[in-house]
């Protein structure tokens, strides 16, 4: 799916950016479920996939910028491996395809690194998110475990983010595949959902599509309680009159990911209050998409969405007063407590392991701590090649409404009695994925219906 | 599903067995896929489930036998957790149900343990298989990471194994549920498999059943290359004339697991050579089951299976000579290179994390290093309450046949030319789960057809 030169060029660009040093890239290992031989499906580290492209465990790479060496540390499979897990392409053949010609057995990595340390060569690594890689860095570089995150190389993080933030045409083509497959999951949910099914029946059917058509890494929220933002409980039984919120995505074979949300009626039609709120969310979504283009700060689009939502809620008498001021103070966040969206790529939240603030913010633009804004993952100016999600939502969260009401918070801006009358709408979110183009944006993947009339038509 | 006293009684039995010391039980944490917020489905540690029964992350328990204290370390959810993941039962309520009344915030565990260490109280822990728990022990007990496995308490391991090896009636009822659900997966595979589908279509359909009817922890081998023992590649397209080997299982809601294997034709009928080999494997399976009873060493049943297989292969002229002697020397292991079965419980390979030799062997019976026997996970004398798998198989592994033939290994016992004529049969395994009763054994779960005539009837 990638040209033979892709990974070589990516490494060359990284080396040009960093100029000097020794970069240590660690691959992932299998994660045990309840004992080592029973592991979760193996997922390679995304940065390792990006620069090295070899999708198997127990690998590490050293890029020595000063000595111009690229070394892959890993082992070829033995006869026992072949008996138990079948014969796979040779590591050296896989390495050659991505331009790596020096391979050293993995157990020689500690010695190699200690030689480098003896020469006082600084070794640059990325902050590990897998505990096995924290342990590896602890043992290999002799850094106390609690100090490992802050001893990671900021220069390396920034160079990787700079590069991975801009998707090439090859990458965008992979994202199109992933988002289209993700869209199939959503069409299936709309096809099968009906009163009496459990949320887990929907979740199982969506994962079925992911596993039959890709490597099977999927995530999904399939809930009639959309107001619980990251609900992964699937035990409710769908009831006529409820909305089903499905926030689900999956990877295509190259591990690029899609991330779509739809909220549709368990029955055939949206109820009147559901429709009122849905139209506001859809309007916020479309208003943002119309504004997507290079040079615009995503923070400003987030505020635009907040504004659109707050104006819509004012029209329903749920919010009141000066909306400009309400949004400035963060009153709308009672109903829209999360961020407008995030980067998308080899990770659903792209590069979140490297630190959200490195990906979505920069030196000029720091994260705001206001409730709502503090959850905004992406704020920086958009650039051509960014792949992002747009996912405004409106939620009626009983615990939060109760707390704010008791504290009389923003009572000039919020009509709590009216808000309580919408508690049964629970939560609505509409999410699609877009690539920023030189002149604006384009939808990634095949469109999935999001107009009320289209969805009601699909729901028969 | 368990009586309110179950977990209290289990802890009491453990404490009675060990008499003195401080036991540290660590729960599991979420395992990140590619960044912390994108985690694999959470699976609690099985020993933690067994003694504590609370199925959520970020918990630890101290059982202080000398001071007669049981302390749960963990935190109640805050408002942010409720907004993002919904309100869950209070930790203190869950703890009360399982008889734990002292709860301390998790961040006070390091201090608590360092006080105990200052008093020279030895702290007993189980060998960690999750890297996050290796890191926790490293930080909490100040043990260098490489020494953590051997510093684990053998007395604690042995006490836990002694207890968990014997399943109570309550546990057997859970195993029945898990195996019955596992059986549904196999019936579905037999219902849908047909030429042109990919193995991944079958895998997806099986996981679908697991996820819609349980917590969704499933494992599966769905392969037309049954000779690759732990094949997790699902990319082949099913062809008329092939056999599909499905070795799959899943957990019921209490996390007990089933583990069944069936091997059936992609078309409607077994071909003649497939039938010949299948009947030998089935005969070995049934011969072993007839011999299952307390007091019999599982090692001897493994050898009985080896014998039955070797005699069967001799009748086909694939093996030859004195079969008694062939099995003694291990010639049959060319075709049956793995063990007859293993313990089953909260883990598919029950307690494999604590060390297979502690579970399946004992001081009188050490593991044999002969090829084939070295892979036998369970050898000890059977006792009432054991739950086990019986899973003989015959495989024609091209790489192994080629190697042994070139080395002229066991040429008195193996007719290599004849064996090569069966290469296209690839691999056949038949596995069911049994509980050892006071007088013999009983099948766990609802029966799944394994006779050729029954399976061909199902395949229409």
- For A105-123, the pLDDT digits (tens) are 999 999 999 999 888 899 9
Instruction: Say whether B34 and A219 touch across the interface (CB within 8 A).
Output: no
Q: Between vectors from CA B188 to CA B185 and to CA B191, what angle results, nearest 5°?
A: 155
Instruction: Say whether A36 and B233 touch across the interface (CB within 8 A).
Output: no
Tell me whether B235 touches chain A (CB under 8 Å).
Answer: no
Residues of B in contact with A35 (CB under 8 A): 129, 347, 349, 351-353
Work out the average pLDDT over B242-258: 98
Q: What pLDDT, on the 0 to 100 scale, is given for residue A172?
A: 98
- pLDDT-above-90 percentage for chain A: 93
Instruction: Say whether A83 and B38 touch across the interface (CB within 8 A).
Output: no
Give the other-Cβ count within 10 Å of A103's Cβ. 18
pLDDT of residue A457 exceeding 90: yes
Work out the average pLDDT over B282-293: 98
pLDDT of residue A150 exceeding 80: yes
Shortest Cα–Cα distance, B256 to chain A (Å): 12
Contacts of B59 (CB under 8 A, 6+ apart): B27, B48, B52, B72, B73, B74, B106
Do the Cβ atoms of A289 and A389 come closer than 8 Å? no
Q: Looking at chain B, which residue has its C-alpha nearest residue A197?
A: B212
Q: What pLDDT, on the 0 to 100 scale, is given for residue A231?
A: 83
Q: What pLDDT, on the 0 to 100 scale, is given for residue B225?
A: 95
Tell me whether B82 touches chain A (CB under 8 Å).
Answer: yes
Give the model's confidence band at B277: pLDDT under 50 very low, under 70 low, under 90 confident, else very high.
very high
Tell me whether A263 touches chain B (CB under 8 Å).
Answer: no
Contacts of B213 (CB under 8 A, 6+ apart): A200, B181, B184
Q: Mind listing the pLDDT tens digit for each residue in A280-329?
A: 999 999 999 999 999 999 999 999 999 999 999 999 999 999 999 999 99
What tokens does A304 get? 């635009």
For chain B, the domains span 6-165, 169-458
Angle between helical axes of A131-141 and A109-118 (0-180°, round to 10): 50
Tell me whether A130 touches chain B (CB under 8 Å).
Answer: yes
The model's pTM:
0.96
Q: What pLDDT, on the 0 to 100 scale, is given for residue B217?
A: 92
Shortest Cα–Cα distance, A413 to chain B (Å): 21
Q: Give the containing element (helix H, strand E) for A204.
A: helix A199-213
Work out the average pLDDT over A55-59: 96
Q: Which of residues 163-192 of A touch B (CB under 8 A)?
A: none
Instruction: Say whether A132 and B129 touch across the interface (CB within 8 A).
Output: no
SS (H, E, C) chain B: CCCCCHHHHHHHHHHHHHCCCEEEEECCCCCEEEECCEECCCCCCHHHHHHCCCCCCCCEEEEECCCCEEEEECCCCCHHHHHHHCCCCCHHHHHHHCCCCEEECHHHHHHHHHHHHHCCCCEECCCCCCHHHHHHHHHHHCCCHHHCCCCCCHHHHHHHHHHHHCCCHHHHHHHHHHHHHHHHHHHHHHHHCCCCCEHHHHHHHHHHHHHHHCCCCEEEEEECCCCCCCCCCCCCECCCCCEEEEEEEEECCCCCECCEEEEEECCCCCCHHHHHHHHHHHHHHHHHHHHCCCCCEHHHHHHHHHHHHHHHHHHCCCECCCHHHHHHHCHHHHCCCCCCCCECCCCCCCCHHHCHHHHHCECCECCCCCCCHHHCCCCCECCCCCEEEECCEEECCHHHHHHHHHCCCCCCCECHHHHHCCHHHCEEECEEEEEECCCCEEECCCCCCCCHHHHHHHCC
ipTM over 0.85: yes
pLDDT of residue A1 exceeding 80: no
Shortest Cα–Cα distance, B352 to chain A (Å): 6
Q: Give the residue carrying structure tokens 């809620």.
A: A313
Instruction: Say whether A36 and B132 touch across the interface (CB within 8 A).
Output: no
Q: What pLDDT, on the 0 to 100 scale, is given for residue B35?
A: 96
Q: Can you tell me the distance from the alpha carbon of B435 to that of B456, in angstroms, rounded to the nearest whole number? A: 28
What tokens does B96 get? 């009360």
pLDDT of residue A50 exceeding 80: yes
Q: Mind listing the pLDDT tens digit for each residue in B109-144?
A: 999 999 998 888 999 999 999 999 999 999 999 999
- Is residue A284 helix, strand or coil? helix
Give the model's confidence band at B230: pLDDT under 50 very low, under 70 low, under 90 confident, else very high.
confident
Q: Name which of A141, A135, A168 is nearest A153 in CA terms.
A: A141
Q: What pLDDT, on the 0 to 100 scale, is given for residue B3?
A: 86
Work out the average pLDDT over A401-407: 97
Contacts of B342 (CB under 8 A, 6+ apart): B349, B350, B352, B360, B377, B378, B388, B389
pLDDT of residue A450 exceeding 90: yes
Q: What pLDDT, on the 0 to 100 scale, is given for residue A2?
A: 87
Alpha carbons within 13 A on the beta-carbon side of A308: 25
Q: Mind listing the pLDDT tens digit for each residue in A125-143?
A: 999 999 999 999 999 999 9
Q: Mind listing the pLDDT tens digit for each residue in A15-25?
A: 999 999 999 99
Q: Mind listing the pLDDT tens digit for each residue in A237-264?
A: 999 999 999 999 999 999 999 999 999 9
Using the Cα atoms of residue A152, residue A153, residue A158 and residue A163 in order, give the sign of their dihedral: negative
Residues of A in contact with B211 (CB under 8 A): 200, 203-204, 207
Do the Cβ atoms of B195 and B267 come closer than 8 Å? yes
State the DSSP string of A374-410.
Answer: GG----SBP-TT-EEEE--EEE--HHHHHHHHHTTTT
**Cross-chain CB nearest to B34 (options A46, A230, A399):** A46
A310 — phi, psi (to 5°)?
A: -65, -40
Do the Cβ atoms of B407 and B260 come closer than 8 Å? no
- Is residue A363 helix, strand or coil? coil
Instruction: Say whether B146 and A131 touch across the interface (CB within 8 A).
Output: no
Give the other-Cβ count within 10 Å of A384's Cβ. 16
Superfamily of domain A6-165: Creatinase/prolidase N-terminal domain (3.40.350.10)
Work out the average pLDDT over B195-205: 95
State the DSSP string of A81-118.
Answer: HHHHH-----HHHHHHHTT--EEE-GGGHHHHHHHHHH
- pLDDT-above-70 percentage for chain B: 100
Instruction: Say whether B83 and A337 touch across the interface (CB within 8 A).
Output: yes
CB pairs under 8 A between A and B: 167
Give the model's confidence band at B165: pLDDT under 50 very low, under 70 low, under 90 confident, else very high.
very high
Q: Give the containing element (helix H, strand E) for A256.
A: none
Shortest Cα–Cα distance, A453 to chain B (Å): 30
Work out the average pLDDT over B369-376: 95
Q: Which CATH number fits domain B169-458: 3.30.70.260, 2.102.10.10, 3.40.640.10, 3.90.230.10?
A: 3.90.230.10
Q: Does A6-165 match A169-458 in CATH topology?
A: no
Using the Cα atoms of residue A14, residue A16, residue A18 and residue A22 in order, give the sign of their dihedral: positive
Work out the average pLDDT over B252-281: 98
């Amino acid at each position: 799916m990638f040209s033979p030169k892709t990974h070589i060029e990516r490494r060359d660009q990284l080396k040009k950016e960093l100029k000097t040093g020794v970069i240590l890239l660690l691959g992932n290992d299998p994660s045990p479920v309840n004992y080592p031989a029973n592991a979760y499906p193996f997922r390679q580290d995304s940065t390792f996939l990006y620069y090295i492209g070899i999708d198997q465990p127990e690998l590490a790479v050293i890029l020595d910028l000063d000595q111009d060496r690229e070394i892959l540390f890993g082992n070829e499979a033995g006869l026992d491996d072949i008996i138990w897990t079948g014969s796979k392409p040779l590591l050296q053949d896989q390495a050659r395809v991505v331009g790596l010609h020096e391979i050293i057995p993995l157990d020689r990595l500690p010695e190699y690194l200690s030689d480098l340390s003896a020469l006082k060569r600084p070794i640059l690594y990325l902050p590990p998110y897998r505990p096995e890689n924290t342990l590896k860095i602890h043992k290999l570089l002799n850094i106390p475990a609690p100090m490992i995150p802050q001893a990671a190389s900021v220069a390396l993080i920034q160079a990787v983010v700079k590069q991975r933030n801009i998707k090439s045409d090859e990458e965008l083509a992979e994202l199109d595949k992933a988002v289209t497959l993700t869209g199939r999951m959503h069409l299936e949910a709309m096809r099968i959902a009906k009163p009496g099914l459990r949320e887990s029946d929907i979740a199982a059917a969506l994962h079925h599509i992911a596993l039959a058509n890709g490597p099977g890494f999927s995530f999904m929220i399939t809930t009639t309680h959309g107001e619980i933002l990251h609900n992964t409980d699937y035990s409710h039984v769908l009831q006529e009159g409820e909305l089903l919120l499905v926030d689900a995505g999956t990877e295509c074979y190259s591990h690029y990911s899609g991330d779509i949300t739809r909220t549709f009626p368990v029955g055939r039609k949206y109820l009147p209050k559901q429709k009122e709120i849905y139209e506001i969310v859809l309007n916020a979504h479309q208003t943002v998409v119309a504004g997507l283009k290079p040079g615009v700060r995503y923070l400003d689009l987030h505020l635009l969405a907040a504004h659109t939502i707050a104006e819509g809620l004012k029209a329903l008498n749920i919010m009141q007063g000066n909306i400009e001021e309400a949004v400035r103070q963060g009153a709308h966040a009672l109903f829209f407590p999360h961020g407008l969206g995030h980067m998308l790529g080899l990770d659903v939240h792209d590069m979140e392991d490297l630190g959200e603030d490195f990906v979505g913010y920069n030196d000029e633009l720091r994260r705001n701590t206001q409730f709502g804004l503090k959850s905004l993952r992406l704020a920086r100016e958009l650039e051509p090649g960014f792949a992002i999600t747009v996912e405004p939502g409106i939620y009626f969260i009983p615990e939060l409404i109760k707390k704010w009401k008791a504290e009389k918070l923003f009572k000039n801006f919020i009509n709590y009695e009216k808000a309580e009358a919408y508690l049964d709408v629970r939560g609505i979110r509409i999410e699609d994925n877009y690539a920023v183009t030189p002149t604006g944006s384009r939808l990634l993947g095949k469109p999935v219906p999001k107009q009320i009339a289209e969805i009601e038509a699909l729901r028969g």
